[in-house]
Chain A
Amino acid sequence: MAVSRDNLVAWIEALQQVYNENKEYLTKLDAAIGDADHGINMNRGFTAVKTELESNPPDNIASVLKSVAMTLIKKVGGASGPLYGTFFLRASTAVTGKEELDAAAVVSMFETGFSGIIQRGKAEVGDKTMVDAWTPALAAMNEALDSDASLKEVLEKGAAAAEQGMKDTIPLQAKKGRASYLGERSKGHQDPGATSTCLMLQKAAELWS
């Protein structure tokens, strides 16, 4: 399949439910090594995103992503607001003028969005952040693209790699964000940002198939 504007909106609206259902889970992960607000913030942000998309429905793919970005930047706060906000803002620039996204365009959208996360957060692989989920996910998606896999296969590979990356954050010592203040004590906990990223990609893989 190719991803249409409506498929994109369906994914974003489903994310509202995902973050609502995982609000306490993400907040608990954050309480262990951060400040116990990640689930609350993601839920507040995507609830506002859904409301905004319903009351001012954007008519194309790029404008949907831009609307999501602006709402997240305004409503989320913390570090995840600017990071996910910048992700969606940058992602929108990769799909300008497109009516549909094939597998390559979807990966390009994620990749461009991710470059915004890197620029804003300046984290590297191994710092125990969402970068540790995005990096293997994008590598897996690109590898699948190279072997002419379908969108479904590309996204499934990406989601699986994100999940592995998320789990691999557990033994890491945090070097960015509030968790870094814990030093050695940040080891043994799964990073909440990598977890919210993994949930995002899993939902895309589930819906866009």
Chain B
Amino acid sequence: MKKIINNPDDVINESLAGVAAAHADLVRVEYDPAIIVRVDAPVQGKVGIVSGGGSGHEPMHGGFVGMGMLDAACPGDVFTSPTPDQMEAATKAVDGGAGVLHIVKNYTGDVMNFEMAAELAQAEGTNVEAVVIDDDVAVQDSLYTAGRRGVGATVLAEKICGAAAERGDDLKTVADLCRKVNANSRSMGMALTSCTVPAAGEPTFQIGEDEMEIGIGIHGEPGRERMKVKSAKEIVGMMSEAIVSDLPFNSGDSVIAMVNGMGGTPLIELYLVYNELNEFLKEKGITIARNLVGNYITSLEMAGCSITLLKADDELLELWDAPVLTPALRWGE
């Protein structure tokens, strides 16, 4: 294992200390239990928005804490769900009296831990709603799996719900918007290389020099199919076809499109992917109204990318355009 770290056991805390030092104007970090909280939380009268998940996906979620997005994030160990005490502490820290929304990615551990946290917070009188994000088309949704994984749509949901909470929407409205974003989003990822969990010390899976994994998850869990590496056009075509046909996205639709890097793919390739995606969608008569290109939901140092499309109406676009000021996403005002 080759990583810029001191000790595998200290990775999370030392990285959090870096976040605290770099972004003291936006967030504060607590360590026991570990949470990243918006610096002016709780904002009175505003719905609080909490998310969380395993670490190793930076900037998600801690990088999205700030005005117009999350009020708090709970970082778990690398690729491991955070624990209910973190989520309960985060929920309390951001409860401004209007209730708290938990945005949960659909992984068994995340869902169970957030359920326990919601039970704890509700027992103490905080109104909590939870919305589970499950946008990954690589996973067949059936009674025989844990359901689709939550991936890229989480970033879009956090931005849009954050804007809705900021303009004063109530808890039910913000939660319904989150469900709407999830229902209208689809994603798919792929990887060229594996990644190494610091505490494990060796790559999560082996993959040949000339191979790629289509439908990869964000934890290095194997995907839908292993195949020889193809051209960017073919890769984007395969992923986009799976996404577009699933919702389906139709000619005349407007979308918010995210081309996301898995952590080890340079922007030069991500923009090349965006170009292919743009061409692909143009041919289908689908218009990209807004876009996001970069590393937003990563998988440590894995090389690869994911594509997320959200069918967007005027309301979603207006909330997307609203000002946001977080370590990793900032625009407007």
Residue numbers of A with Cβ under 8 A of B are 27, 31, 34-37, 40-41, 44, 73-83, 120-121, 173, 175-178, 180-183, 185
Contact B108 A182 (CB under 8 A): no
Which among B116, B138, B139, B220 is the interface contact of A35 at CB below 8 angstroms? B220
How far apart sit A182 and B217, CA to CA, in the bound complex (Å)?
A: 10
Which among A34, A75, A77, A180 is the interface contact of B145 at CB below 8 angstroms? A180
Nearest to A24 among chain B residues (CB) is B200
Would you list which residues of chain B between 57 and 86 have a CB under 8 Å from chain A?
Answer: 76-85
Would you list which residues of chain B between 207 and 243 have a CB under 8 Å from chain A?
Answer: 217, 219-222
Contact A178 B146 (CB under 8 A): yes
Nearest to B200 among chain A residues (CB) is A36
Interface SS majority for chain B: loop
Q: Which of A41, A73, A173, A181 has its CB near the most chain B CB atoms (within 10 A)?
A: A181
The contact sample of 29 A-B pairs, CB cut-off 8 A, is A27-B200, A31-B205, A35-B79, A35-B80, A35-B220, A35-B221, A36-B200, A40-B77, A41-B80, A44-B77, A73-B83, A73-B85, A73-B116, A77-B77, A77-B81, A77-B83, A77-B113, A81-B109, A81-B113, A120-B112, A121-B108, A173-B144, A175-B146, A176-B108, A177-B108, A178-B107, A180-B146, A181-B217, A182-B222
Which residues in B have their C-beta under 8 angstroms from that of A34? 221
Residue numbers of B with Cβ under 8 A of A are 33, 54, 76-85, 107-109, 112-113, 115-116, 138-140, 143-146, 149, 197, 199-200, 204-205, 217, 219-222
Nearest to A83 among chain B residues (CB) is B112
Contact A37 B112 (CB under 8 A): no
On whether A176 and B77 interact (CB within 8 A), knowing A120-B112, A121-B112, A181-B221, the answer reads no
13 new A-B contacts at CB < 8 Å, known A37-B199, A77-B81, A81-B113 = A31-B200, A35-B204, A37-B80, A37-B200, A40-B80, A40-B200, A75-B83, A76-B83, A79-B109, A82-B109, A83-B112, A178-B146, A181-B221
How far apart sit A166 and B78, CA to CA, in the bound complex (Å)?
A: 27
Which residues in B have their C-beta under 8 angstroms from that of A75? 83
Q: Which of A35, A73, A120 has its CB near the most chain B CB atoms (within 10 A)?
A: A35
